[in-house]
């Protein structure tokens, strides 16, 4: 299979083909996901929760992210890999460029940052220096202490309008992909239609250009808690390879997410 690229993801949006993505943290799962047709993988700072057993992503370090990005790249040499820049690793320009370079050298094709207006100069600086950026709006796990918990964002009209305005600004600044997390489905649709770059939803409704889930959620490994926007594909198929291929197929056909996985 030919390597995925930003240009191909862009073309998929233009042609109305749904993009499937999952988080990956090691070589074995990265290899399996790629073999089952997952379009790209995110080395998420969610590893703090699902790999390290932490209560949030805030304690995850750059060293953690570099290490896991290297593992994923080893498992899937041709895959398109995005790496999260962890909490406070992009607070100043100098720090941002140094840390982004580390992730790219570790094997990432793109870095992901959480936030809106305040990231404009950061994104411009990174893209000018050859670092592709995936932006992230809606629920921002790194800002959970400011947001007051894991809550759906953009439910009020003003908040929804502001999220759309920020999405347009981020695209203008040079972001080439946008993750939308835990927002009403109608807002996910509105933002997706307004942007020319692909949107990837996690709890953002069926109308985003693609979907992403935390691997552990879609395999039902967080037995005490399954987010509303997730589904246990392993229980449905009975094998890991079956779970990944079924997820890809259901995203491509527009069957996932269904109404029960969405916020209104």
Q: In degrees, to the nearest 5, what angle opens at C-alpha 65 toward C-alphas 60 and 69?
A: 155
Nearest to 180 by CA among 157, 207, 156: 207
pLDDT tens digits for range 129-178: 999 999 999 999 888 877 777 789 999 999 999 999 999 999 999 999 99
Please say whether the beta carbons of 234 and 220 come within 8 A.
yes
Report whether 149 contacts 141 (CB < 8 A): no
Q: What is the pLDDT of residues 31-78, one digit of tens each?
A: 999 999 999 999 999 999 999 999 999 999 999 999 999 999 999 999
- Tell me how far apart the alpha carbons of residues 244 and 51 are, in angstroms, rounded to a whole number: 19
Q: What is the domain-level CATH number for residue 144?
A: 3.20.20.60
For the chain, the maximum distance between any two Cα atoms, rounded to a whole number of angstroms, is 47
pLDDT above 80 for 2: no
Nearest one of 34, 68, 4, 33 to 198, comparing CA atoms: 4
DSSP-derived pairing of the beta strands 110-114 and 133-138: parallel
CA separation (Å) from 49 to 57, 85, 217?
Answer: 6, 15, 11
Q: Considering the chain, what is the average pLDDT of its residues?
A: 96
Among the options 181, 249, 255, 260, which is catalytic? 181
What is the mean pLDDT of the segment spanning 197-222?
96
Residue 46, annotated as binding a ligand: yes
CA distance 39 to 49: 24
Number of domains forming the structure of the chain: 1
Does 80 have pLDDT greater than 90?
A: yes
In a domain, 73, yes or no: yes
Question: In the structure, what pLDDT confidence band is assigned to residue 223 with cuts at 50, 70 and 90?
Answer: low
Range of the domain at 49: 6-261
Query: What's the pLDDT tens digit per position in 101-116?
Result: 999 999 999 999 999 9
Is residue 168 situated within a structural domain? yes
Backbone angles phi, psi at 41, to 5 degrees: -120, 145
Active-site residue flag, 181: yes
pLDDT confidence of residue 151: 86
Contact of 140 with 166, CB cutoff 8 Å: no
Q: What percent of the chain has pLDDT over 70?
A: 99
pLDDT-based confidence at 1, cuts 50/70/90?
Answer: low
CB 46 within 8 A of CB 141: yes
Helix (H) or strand (E) holding 210: strand 210-213
Q: How far apart are CA 29 and CA 33, in angstroms?
A: 6
In a domain, 1, yes or no: no
Residue-level pLDDT at 188: 98
* Angle in degrees, CA 17, 257, 111, rounded to 5: 65
């Amino acid at each position: 299979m030919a390597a995925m690229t930003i240009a191909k993801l862009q073309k998929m949006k233009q042609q109305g083909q749904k993009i499937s993505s999952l988080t990956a943290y090691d070589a074995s799962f990265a290899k399996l996901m790629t073999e089952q047709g997952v379009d790209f993988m995110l080395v998420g700072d969610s590893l703090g929760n699902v790999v390290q057993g932490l209560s949030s992503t805030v304690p995850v370090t750059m060293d953690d992210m570099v290490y896991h990005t290297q593992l994923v790249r080893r498992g899937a040499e041709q895959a398109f890999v995005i790496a999260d820049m962890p909490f406070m690793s992009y607070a100043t320009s100098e720090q941002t460029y140094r840390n982004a370079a580390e992730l790219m050298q570790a094997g990432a094709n793109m870095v992901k940052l959480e936030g809106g207006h305040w990231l404009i100069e950061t994104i411009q600086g990174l893209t000018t220096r050859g670092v592709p950026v995936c932006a992230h709006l809606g629920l921002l796990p790194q800002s959970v202490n400011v947001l007051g918990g894991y809550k759906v964002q953009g439910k009020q009209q003003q908040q929804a309008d502001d999220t759309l305005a920020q999405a347009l600004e981020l695209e203008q600044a040079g972001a080439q992909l946008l993750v939308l997390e835990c927002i009403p489905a109608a807002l996910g649709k509105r933002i997706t239609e307004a942007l020319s770059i692909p949107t990837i939803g996690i709890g953002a409704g069926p109308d985003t250009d693609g979907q992403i889930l935390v691997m552990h959620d879609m395999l039902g490994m967080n037995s005490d808690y399954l987010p509303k926007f997730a589904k246990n594909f392993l229980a449905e198929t009975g094998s890991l390879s079956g779970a990944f291929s079924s997820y890809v197929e259901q995203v491509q056909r527009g069957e996932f997410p269904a109404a029960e996985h969405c916020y209104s």
